[in-house]
Amino acid sequence: MMKLITAAERHYAEVGDWLKSYYLFSFADYYSPNNIAFGPLRVLNQDTIKPNAGFPSHPHAEMEIIQIVTAGQLTHKDNLGNEMTLKAGSVQRITSGMGITVSETNEGEVPLELFQLWFLPNKRGLAPSYEHMSLDFLDEKDKLVPLVTGQKVLENVAYLNSNSSVYYGHLSQGEEIDFKTFKLRQTLVYVVSGSMLVNNMEVDTGDQVRIADQTAIRLHGSAEGRFLLVDVPAIEANY
């Protein structure tokens, strides 16, 4: 099964004059009963935050929260005592577990661009924790770069308390990347820029394709482009 969801089908939201977002799943004021989650993946937002603005201190619980910084800088603070600024090419993981309070702001001079992904954890009641890594993935080309994973076969990536993985790709025109998967897994490919063929299906900027019951996925660059690939178990989320 391969389901194409076009860029026009994303939900666009603005918060004041400081935040512009695209939601790929039901989130905040956007609710669609047919678009709640993809396996344990509950949220995938593409955010742009203007300078000297951001999310003030707020609580989270029972969710694995990933931030992938692609432009600008992200300043994170939490009630565990963590405080740091992440540059473009960095990834952070927040295990909210039994409860954590965080703020995420742009204290730089240019817009902050990031992806925010939330996953249901493998189990509830985890101790809250935080991790960040500078992976410099933005300059890598024509290969999948793992950013976070709950599968311990991958090294030098942020750890996720979910049997899921997130990859970043920058594909040149005419080049191909093959991703091996299994029928017990499912895959989401979100095209950030450019266009590509995903198992011969044309997918353009802002489009996503959700894939299940496959054993291999071939990504072919129709034009130079960037994308996220999210690999998750083929399970129904519990809500």
Three-state DSSP class for residue 137: helix
Residue 48 lies in a domain: yes
Residue 198 lies in a domain: yes
Three-state DSSP class for residue 8: helix
Three-state DSSP class for residue 113: strand
DSSP per residue, 44-69: EEEEEE-TTEEEEEEEE-S-EEEEEE
> Residues 2, 209: contact at Cβ < 8 Å?
yes
pLDDT in the model for residue 156: 84
Instruction: Report the greatest alpha carbon distance in the chain.
Output: 48
Q: Specify the number of domains making up the chain.
A: 1
Exposure class string for 90-114: b at 16+ Cβ within 10 A, else e? bbbbbbbbeebebebbbebeebbbb
Q: Which domain holds residue 223?
A: 2-233
Q: What is the pLDDT of residues 17-41, one digit of tens each?
A: 999 999 999 999 999 999 999 999 9
- Using alpha carbons, select from 118, 137, 136, 117 the residue that is nearest to residue 226: 137
Alpha carbons 162 and 187: distance in angstroms, whole number: 15
Residue 238 lies in a domain: no
Residue 224 lies in a domain: yes
Residue 104 lies in a domain: yes
Alpha carbons 167 and 157: distance in angstroms, whole number: 10
Q: What is the pLDDT of residues 200-219, one digit of tens each?
A: 999 999 999 999 999 999 99
Residue 219 lies in a domain: yes
pLDDT in the model for residue 152: 74
pLDDT tens-place values along the chain, 239 residues long:
999 999 999 999 999 999 999 999 999 999 999 999 999 999 999 999 999 999 999 999 999 999 999 999 999 999 999 999 999 999 999 999 999 999 999 999 999 999 999 999 999 999 999 999 999 999 999 999 999 999 876 778 999 999 999 999 999 999 999 999 999 999 999 999 999 999 999 999 999 999 999 999 999 999 999 999 999 998 754 43
Residue 239 lies in a domain: no
Give the number of other CB atoms < 10 A from CB of residue 191. 23
User: Residue 80 carries which side chain, given as an amino acid letter?
Assistant: L
CA Rg, the chain, in Å? 17
Q: What angle do CA 87, 13, 131 make, to 5 degrees?
A: 30
CATH code (residue 28): 2.60.120.10
